[in-house]
Amino acid sequence: MNLHPRLHEVVKEQKFPMVFVTISGAHLYGFPSPDSDYDLRGVHVLPVRDVVGLDTGTETIEVSETRENIELDLVTHDIKKFFKLLLKKNGYVLEQLYSPLVVHSTPEHDELRAIAKGCITRYHSHHYLGFAETEWKLLNKESPTRIKPLLYVYRVSVDRDTHDAHGRSRGKPAHS
C-alpha cells in the first residue's frame, strides 16, 4: 500500500516523540470505501515532568482533520496508558501494535511487539467475541442491511479464531 505523504507529515507535526503510528480501521481490515478516513493509531512518549507529579500530561492525543482531500483521525496514547490497556487484555492495542500498515516505527516499536507476545491470553478472544456480538446486533437493526457492518463481524470473528483456548496464536492474524 502506498501511503499518502500527508500521513507522514501529521506524525512529524506531533508535539511528543512517537514510538509507532500504524493504520487501523477499514484500511487495515481490507475494505476501505471511497469515503473512508485514515485511522492512525499509535504510542507517544511524554517527558518525565509530565508523567511524574500531581499534574500529569495528556495520556491520549486526538487529531481529526481533512487536508488535501485526505480525512484522517490520529489517536495516540502515552506509553504508560498503552501498557495499562495492553495488560487489560485490550485487543485494539494489539491490532495497532501488529498492524502491517506502518506509518512510523522505531526500535522501541519492535521491543513493544516482543513484550506484547507475552501478554496475549485467551481473554483476548472474549474481547473479539464481544465486539462481534455488538456488531451483529447493530447489523440486525439495519434495513436495508449494509455490507460493511457484516464485514466487521467477519473480521473480528477471524481475529478471535487466530488464538486457541490458551491464548496462543495459531498463526498470523487475518490482518497481518
Q: Can you read off the three cell numbers belonging to residue 173?
A: 492474524
CATH architecture of 5-117: 2-Layer Sandwich (3.30)
pLDDT band at 16 (very low <50, low <70, confident <90, very high): very high
For residue 78, the tally of other CB atoms under 10 A from its CB is 22
Q: Can you read off the three cell numbers belonging to residue 34?
A: 471511497
| Composition of the chain by helix, strand, coil, percent to 5 | 45, 20, 35
For residue 173, the tally of other CB atoms under 10 A from its CB is 20
Give span(s): CATH 3.30.460.10, the chain.
Answer: 5-117
Distance of alpha carbon 99 from alpha carbon 94, whole angstroms = 8
pLDDT for 144: 81
Distance of alpha carbon 124 from alpha carbon 89, whole angstroms = 6
Q: How much is the average pLDDT of 74-96? A: 89
pLDDT for 173: 42
Q: How much is the average pLDDT of 87-94? A: 82
pLDDT for 124: 63
Q: Give percent above pLDDT 70 in the chain.
A: 80
pLDDT of 32 strictly over 90: no
pLDDT of 149 strictly over 90: no
pLDDT for 1: 66
pLDDT for 157: 62
Q: How much is the average pLDDT of 147-162? A: 64
pLDDT for 12: 94
Compute, in degrees rounded to 10, the torsion defined by CA atoms 122, 132, 37, 93: -20
Distance of alpha carbon 145 from alpha carbon 153, whole angstroms = 13
Task: Tell me if 97 sits within 8 A of 23, measured CB to CB.
Answer: no
pLDDT for 127: 65
pLDDT band at 171 (very low <50, low <70, confident <90, very high): very low
Per-residue model confidence as pLDDT tens digits over 92-144: 888 899 999 999 999 999 999 998 888 777 666 666 667 777 777 877 887 88
Distance of alpha carbon 144 from alpha carbon 153, whole angstroms = 17
Mean pLDDT (the chain, rounded): 81
Residue-by-residue DSSP string for 65-106:
EEETTEEEEEEEEEHHHHHHHHHTT-HHHHHHHH-S-EEE--
